[in-house]
Amino acid sequence: MAPEMPGGGSTVAARPPGLIRAARAKGWPYLFLLPAVVAIAGIFVYPLIEVVRYSFYAGSVGSLSYVGTANYVSLWQDPVFVQSLMDNLKLLATVPIMTVLALVIALIINSQIRGWRQYRSIVFLPYILPATAMGLTFGYLLERNGVLNTFLRDIGLGALAPDWLGSGSIVVATIGMVIVWQQLGFGIVVFAAALLGVPTELIEAAKMDGAGWWQVQRLILIPHIRRVIEFFVILEAITMLSAVFTYVYVLTQGGPGNASSVVEYYIFQNGFENGAIGVASAAAVVLLVLASVLIFFYLRLRLRSEGGAK
């Protein structure tokens, strides 16, 4: 008999859902994520696994032979790879330059000088331009008898007109200059957006206490966006290691000689031009490890800062 209610009715005791029913109820939302997970696995995870596997083989894709770690050993014995890796490390020097310039310009724009919104749009414009188009343009400007050198010679400054892209001693610095010109706008916009989030009460309180413009920037604004600055530095460092192929390919194709070759271009040459799939895959794994170290360092930095803030 079902228990009777005081009014003469009856009710059935509520039963908790079974384990299978509860699992279905909780797992249902994850079904909507399944297509995205499958897509990510197919686009990123599977190729990554294949690259690591190919790094232990030699030969073409149709006829691979297992060679163990021989590809990794040959990398460090190849002066072209060592030169390419050193060029990537040289490009890392552009990161602090880019960070300081972007931060200074963002602070000036944040002061809301006349026309600051227009300036912010103008400095961001190079970042959205295609890297290929920029490389072709700068290649035309910076060649030995290009627009820049012709202008310098016409005004009597021929001594300051070197072969920007043909001299092995300055070609990496030239590529770095082009990269800074394009990436600078991204840093300015990121920093300017972060500065807009600083509470105005802090700034007004500092000014009431007699703080000048520079003291407000140094003691209030810059510390407040420190995490954004750290994120930008790590992101640009990863860019210098693994996202400069277009600039090198369009501007110099690794020349003169191999003076401006980077690891990405080394992978392209061995994997697509020379058919050395194993060597190219091993170089890609090395590049992935270097980028992963930077990502790990950034995550540790974030966890430490968050732990200190609690």
Express each pLDDT in 118-170 by its tens digit.
787 888 888 988 888 888 899 999 988 889 999 999 999 888 899 999 999 99
Q: Which residues of 228-261 are buried (b: 16+ CB within 10 A; e: fewer)?
A: bbbbbbbbbbbbbbbbbbebbbbbbebeeebbbb
What letter would DSSP give residue 271? I
What is the pLDDT at residue 310? Answer: 55
On whether residue 233 sits in a domain, the answer given is yes
Q: Is the pLDDT of residue 23 over 60?
A: no
pTM of the model: 0.83
Query: Per-residue pLDDT for 208 more than 80?
Result: yes
CA dist 102 and 195 (Å) reads 12
Predicted pLDDT at 297:
83
**3-class SS of residue 124:** helix
257 falls within a domain: yes
Domain count of the chain?
1
Is 198 a domain residue?
A: yes
pLDDT averaged over every residue in the chain: 86
Question: What percent of the chain has pLDDT above 70?
Answer: 89
94 lies in some domain = yes
- Is 114 inside any structural domain? yes
**pLDDT (0 to 100) of residue 1:** 47
> Is residue 168 situated within a structural domain?
yes
H helices present in the chain, as ranges: 19-40, 46-54, 70-77, 79-91, 94-110, 116-128, 131-142, 147-154, 171-196, 200-208, 213-216, 222-224, 226-242, 245-251, 263-268, 277-309
How do strand 65-66 and strand 57-58 relate by DSSP bridges?
A: antiparallel
In a domain, 63, yes or no: no
Contacts of residue 113, defined as CB under 8 A and 6 or more positions apart, other chains included, come to 119
Q: Is residue 62 part of a domain?
A: no
Q: Count CB atoms within 10 A of the CB of residue 276.
A: 20
Domain containing 139 equals: 79-262
Confidence at residue 36, expressed as pLDDT on a 0 to 100 scale: 86
Question: d(Cα 97, Cα 86) in Å, to the nearest integer?
Answer: 18
Q: What was the pLDDT predicted at 77?
A: 94
CATH code: domain of residue 201? 1.10.3720.10
8 A C-beta contact, residue 58 and residue 67: yes
For 288, the token pair is 């992935």
Residue 65 pairs in a beta bridge with 58
Average pLDDT over residues 205-230: 88
pLDDT (0 to 100) of residue 24:
62
- The yes-or-no verdict on residue 96 having pLDDT over 80 is yes
Q: How confident is the model at residue 12 (pLDDT cuts 50, 70, 90)?
A: very low
pLDDT for the residue 22: 58
